[in-house]
Chains A and B, each alone.
Chain A
Amino acid sequence: MFGRLRTRDRVVLQVLATLIAIPFAYPIIVIVATSFEGQGAIENYTAVLTRTPFLRFLANSAIIAGGTIVITFVCTMLAAYAFSKLRFPGRQMLFVVVLGGLVLPAIALIVPIFTIMLGLGLMNTHIAVILPLAAITIPFTVLLAKNFLDGVPDEILEAAKIDGANTLGTLFWIVLPLARPIIAVVLVWTFLQSWNEFFLPLLLLQSSDMQAVTQVPLYFTSEYGSDTPKIFASLVLISLPVTIAYLSLQKLFERGLTAGAVK
């Protein structure tokens, strides 16, 4: 956007960007570096894998995240499309209703969620965690996706209509391909929300076999003292899947943007 930059300007930009980035990089370096301390990297990471139910919890978290992503994605794209591109009675009001779900933190809803899941007979199933996670994520993803779709010119959709596509077809064949950037955002967002959740699995899954990956670091705090490097090693390991997901979707994200369909 700056057009062609002179070398001096580029150096200034480079220095400024570096100055901003350093404080953002530092804590990550601290986390990784600490995970190498103590008995050493190999020992620490091996301990996380062997002395905790890491793989089982990983699988549990994958189920939870996968379920949440499917529900959230479907609900979000359908709703955002309707709120942005369709007219129907009560549109504005219903949008506010969905957005209203944005405002309460899960921690204030724990007891009712528990009671609802108990009533539905879903206690001690992963669905008991998936549904509330989807419910607290959807308002936000709908807001983002609707905002994004508002920026998609109506003309493209009109054209699709003239070509004979129905509403669902328009969503599927026209809107979704255009919406790839926001789809990436929705996916990454839902993944990290569900992956990093601590309280819901702890409180809603009664069996210790079903716990989520966020419980792993706690295995290194006990009455025998706490093993900080291994705690950090588990934090690094449990952060990896989300990081990888972000990094791999980042490319799609970029491609979707630079493809220029939206401009």
Chain B
Amino acid sequence: MATLHSPAVRGGRLRALLYVLPALIVVVGIVYLGIGYNAYVSTLEWSGIGDDRRPVGIDNYIGVFTDPVFWTSLSHVAIFAVVTIAAQMAIGLTMAILLSGRIFLGGVYKVVMFLPVVLSPAAIAVAFRDILSPGGGLNEALRAIGLDGLTRAWIAEPETALMAIAVINIWAWTGFSFILYQAALAQVDTDLIEAAQLDGAGKLRTLWSVVVPQLSGTHATLVLIGVIGALKTFDIVYLTTGGGPGRSTEFLTTYIYKTAIDGFQAGYAAALSMVLLLLSLLLTLIQMRANRFGRS
């Protein structure tokens, strides 16, 4: 759609490949070589140290699909993805729209929303472990407004730990949705808005029926990034709950890490990461396909 249809640009088609080459070399040379290595290791029974490697074919993969921890982790990732993507998009879009109303101190609000994105996971984890602790800020706030009954050890209880991590992630990443929406809103066709308002549509309806659909490209990008981001989430989980209590916040990534590092099962961990990879690829392709349908 956005392509130049005339026989591309001077220099011929193959020269265009040169533009892609640097990125390809770096990505293929590291990520794909890494994936290839993982694919090989995933067929071994190997501690990850020394020469005692035993080829086991697809046994590790069979192990993955019959491993209850794998399925538990996957369900956590799914819940986490849905909750965080929905919340980040909703809050990010809302805030972008609110701030487009040129409110007082809008610049400060903008910075506040985006600052979490630039903070290191280490800083975020340390702060939230404090805020979500039994005597931390969240419980204090609840007590202050009389909701003593709701206070709890948010990251220490299996019932709330996953949601607590989702909240941390929403805090950390909403600024990203916000900033993309803000950029996109600036490109929204104002004629359509004016036309809708001339038709007598209310502001909220204009928003919903005229503005939001125009942002479909941004929605799609955020969902795509959100899904992949959820599958890749590691630092925040590792640094706050470490996957616990029990397995209640185990993610595929933390499980891979534990299996490889604490469990000395490099082969099995590699098989888990190959499954994670295939899963992400599958979801990415589905979304790209769906996206194209949506556009045409």
Is A in direct contact with B (CB under 8 Å) within the complex?
yes
> How far does the alpha carbon of A179 sit from the alpha carbon of B260 in the complex, in Å?
42
- In the complex, which residues of chain B have a beta carbon less than 8 angstroms from the beta carbon of A188? 118
In chain B, residues 10-36, which have Cβ atoms closer than 8 Å to a Cβ of chain A?
A: 10-11, 13-17, 19-20, 22-24, 26-36
How near does chain B come to A194, taking the closest CB pair, in angstroms? 11
- In the complex, which residues of chain A have a beta carbon less than 8 angstroms from the beta carbon of B188? 1
Residue from A17, A132, A170 whose CB has the most chain B CB atoms within 10 Å: A17
Query: Is A2 on the interface with B (CB-CB < 8 A)?
Result: yes
A41-69 CB mask vs B (1 if < 8 Å, else 0) is 00000000000000000000000000000
How near does chain A come to B201, taking the closest CB pair, in angstroms? 12
Query: Is B121 on the interface with A (CB-CB < 8 A)?
Result: yes
Specify the chain A residue showing the minimal Cβ separation from B167. Answer: A23
> How far does the alpha carbon of A101 sit from the alpha carbon of B25 in the complex, in Å?
11
Chain B interface size, as a band, is 35 or more
A131 touching B117, Cβ below 8 Å: no
Specify the chain B residue showing the minimal Cβ separation from A131. Answer: B30
A84 touching B32, Cβ below 8 Å: no
A79 touching B127, Cβ below 8 Å: no
B4 touching A86, Cβ below 8 Å: yes
B16 touching A27, Cβ below 8 Å: no
> How far does the alpha carbon of A107 sit from the alpha carbon of B13 in the complex, in Å?
37
- In the complex, which residues of chain A have a beta carbon less than 8 angstroms from the beta carbon of B66? none
B131 touching A86, Cβ below 8 Å: no
B126-152 CB mask vs A (1 if < 8 Å, else 0) is 111011000001000000000000000
- In the complex, which residues of chain B have a beta carbon less than 8 angstroms from the beta carbon of A247? 111
- In the complex, which residues of chain B have a beta carbon less than 8 angstroms from the beta carbon of A195? 120
Say whether chain A's binding surface is mostly helix, strand, loop, or mixed.
Answer: helix
Specify the chain B residue showing the minimal Cβ separation from A154. Answer: B4
Which of the residues A1, A13, A24, A94 comes within 8 Å of B113, measured between beta carbons? A24
Given contacts A102-B228, A104-B273, A112-B37, contact A196 B121 (CB under 8 A): yes
B33 touching A116, Cβ below 8 Å: yes
Specify the chain B residue showing the minimal Cβ separation from A151. Answer: B187
Query: Is A109 on the interface with B (CB-CB < 8 A)?
Result: yes
> How far does the alpha carbon of A23 sit from the alpha carbon of B115 in the complex, in Å?
13
Given contacts A104-B31, A108-B276, contact A214 B120 (CB under 8 A): yes
Listed from nearest, the 3 A-B pairs whose CB atoms lie closest are A103-B280, A82-B19, A112-B34
Given contacts A214-B120, A242-B118, 7 further A-B contacts (CB under 8 A): A86-B16, A88-B14, A91-B16, A103-B232, A112-B34, A136-B31, A263-B187
Point out residues on B near A: beta carbons under 8 Å. 1-11, 13-17, 19-20, 22-24, 26-38, 41, 48, 91, 94-95, 97-104, 106, 109-124, 126-128, 130-131, 137, 171, 174-175, 179, 183, 185-188, 190, 193-194, 197, 203, 211, 217, 221, 224-225, 228, 231-232, 234-235, 253, 256-257, 260, 266, 269, 273, 276-277, 280-281, 284-285, 288
24 A-B pairs with CB atoms under 8 Å apart are: A1-B193, A3-B193, A10-B103, A27-B128, A71-B26, A81-B19, A85-B2, A88-B13, A89-B17, A94-B17, A97-B27, A100-B284, A101-B32, A102-B228, A102-B280, A104-B34, A105-B234, A109-B38, A131-B30, A143-B225, A167-B15, A195-B120, A214-B122, A235-B123
Point out residues on A near B: beta carbons under 8 Å. 1-3, 5, 9-10, 13-14, 16-18, 20-21, 23-28, 30-31, 34, 71, 74-76, 78-79, 81-91, 94, 96-105, 107-109, 111-113, 115-116, 131-132, 134-136, 138-140, 142-144, 147, 149-152, 154, 157-158, 161, 166-167, 170-171, 181, 185, 188, 192, 195-196, 198, 214, 217, 231-232, 235-236, 238-239, 242-243, 245-247, 250, 253, 257-258, 262-263
